[in-house]
Amino acid sequence: MSARPRVWWHWMNGNVTNDRIAEDVAWMKRVGIGGLQNVGRRVRIRWWQAVR
């Protein structure tokens, strides 16, 4: 097992789309990000479903 960095992922005012979530998560995986802490108020349940 190896350690990988985690990041803060800010969703400003819920300004996010499913396509952008997919792009960001793919990029994080590609560069070796091991996890994230999401920061975003007013985020709807459907956005969390897109991240999973």
Q: What are the structural domain ranges in the chain?
A: 6-51
How far apart, in whole angstroms, are the C-alpha atoms of residue 37 and residue 46? 17
How far apart, in whole angstroms, are the C-alpha atoms of residue 47 and residue 21? 8
- 35 DSSP assignment: E
Task: Output the pLDDT for position 16.
Answer: 78
* Mean pLDDT over each residue of the chain, to the nearest integer: 81
**Tens digit of pLDDT for each residue in 16-46?**
788 888 899 999 999 999 998 887 656 666 6
Tell me what percent of the residues of the chain surpass a pLDDT of 90: 35
How far apart, in whole angstroms, are the C-alpha atoms of residue 29 and residue 23? 10
What residues contact 42, with CB distance under 8 A and at least 6 apart?
13, 14
**Mean pLDDT on 2-13:** 86
